[in-house]
Amino acid sequence: MARTPLIAGNWKMNLDHLQAVAFVQKLHWTLKDAAHDENSVEVALFPPFTNLRTVQILIDADKVPFVLGAQDLSTHDSGAYTGEVSGVFLDKLACRYVIVGHSERRDYHHETDAIVAEKVQAALRNHLVPVICVGETLEQREESGPTAVSVAQLQVALEGVPADADVVVAYEPVWAIGTGQVASPEQAQEVCAALRAVVAEKLGDDAAARTRILYGGSVKSGNVASFLREPDVDGALVGGASIVVDEFAAIIRYQKHVGV
């Protein structure tokens, strides 16, 4: 089954809503000038919550060919949860995706596997596609090997998910996020293949064949093609390089680097 590559830009806590307008328009024009084929790759932008409406207006007016995602959501849909953002609201803002279980949330906000699993459910019941992030620290890799932590995290996250659910998985080794220390394509492939086996075990073979599994961790225009050549890597979750227009545009146009 052909899987449309997904290039996802996680802005983290960068770019205010005015900078967001300029960034998104400039990205669009850069890709247009470069004759980018919009249908060959799906581009999702994950701005901070405060920019979602701003970017959504551009998308709604057919001004830019990107899809929208949020960086997190609440496990609850409404109520007395000060500071939380509901999946109901994200759905109304026409978000297609929501990141869950990013290592920065697991680390700084103490999100456990159980909370991540609840967020996956919150996303699905609100018609959002969860981008489920998993990945090991260097110590965990040394202790239990390259796949054990990610496999265990994904098994919990997919608990109770129906076989026909649309999910995206992102393998993000913690030691490669924002460090410039990138995994090798072979290391990414090994873990992504193991994660696809988890999707097969939990949701069945059809789901495993259609589910996109991304690599994330210091992806740049110079290395993205080497990951996307791997059979089980279907895209990239990009942090730092996703807020530099020329660099992100070059990542989106990764096919050009390998001439496919």
Closest to ligand PEP by CB, 19 vs 77, is 19
The only residue of 240, 248, 250, 254 in contact with ligand PEP, by rule CB under 6 A: 240
- The strand pair at 97-100 and 129-134 is best described as parallel
Using CB under 6 A as the binding rule, the residues of this chain from 188 to 227 that contact ligand PEP are 216-219
Tokens of 177: 């996020």
Q: Which is nearer to ligand PEP, 168 or 208 (CB)?
A: 168
**Measured from the CB of residue 215, what is the shortest distance to ligand PEP in angstroms?**
9
Token pair, residue 206, equals 């059809």
The least distance separating ligand PEP from the CB of residue 240, rounded to whole angstroms, comes to: 3
Alpha carbon distances (Å) from 172 to 131, 135, 148, 150, 215: 11, 5, 14, 9, 6
**Which helix H or strand E contains 237, and what residues bound it?**
strand 235-238
Given the complex with ligand PEP, which of 100 and 207 has the nearer CB atom?
A: 100
From residue 221, alpha-carbon distances to 111, 249, 257 in Å are: 31, 8, 9
E strand residue ranges, the chain: 6-10, 42-46, 67-70, 97-100, 129-134, 168-171, 212-216, 235-238
Residues 147-186: x where in contact with ligand PEP by CB under 6 A, - otherwise, as a string: -------------------------x----xx--------
Contacting residue, 237, 243, 245, 251, with ligand PEP by CB under 6 A: 237
Tokens of 169: 């998985």
Q: Which of 111, 136, 172, 190 is catalytic?
A: 172
Cα distance between residue 245 and residue 243, in whole Å: 6
Q: CA neighbours within 13 Å on the CB side: how many for 212?
A: 23
Residue 122's alpha-carbon distances to 76, 78, 85, 129, in angstroms, are 7, 11, 11, 10
Stretch that binds ligand PEP, among 64-72, 120-128, 192-200, 231-239 (CB under 6 A): 231-239
Establish whether 172 is a catalytic residue. yes
**124 scored as a contact of ligand PEP (CB under 6 A):** no
Decide whether 130 or 217 has the Cβ nearer to ligand PEP: 217
64 near ligand PEP (CB under 6 A): no
Could you tell me which stretch among 22-30, 149-157, 160-168, 234-242 binds ligand PEP (CB under 6 A)? Answer: 234-242
Q: Which residue sits closest to ligand PEP, CB atoms considered?
A: 239
- Do 220 and 175 meet the contact criterion of CB atoms below 8 Å apart? no
102 is catalytic: yes
Applying CB under 6 A, which of residues 9, 10, 87, 249 lies at the interface with ligand PEP? 10
Contact in structure between 111 and 52 (CB atoms under 8 Å): no
CB 149 to ligand PEP: min, Å: 16
Start-to-end C-alpha separation, the chain: 18
Binding site for ligand PEP (CB under 6 A): 10, 172, 177-178, 216-219, 237-241
Residues with a catalytic annotation lie at 102, 172
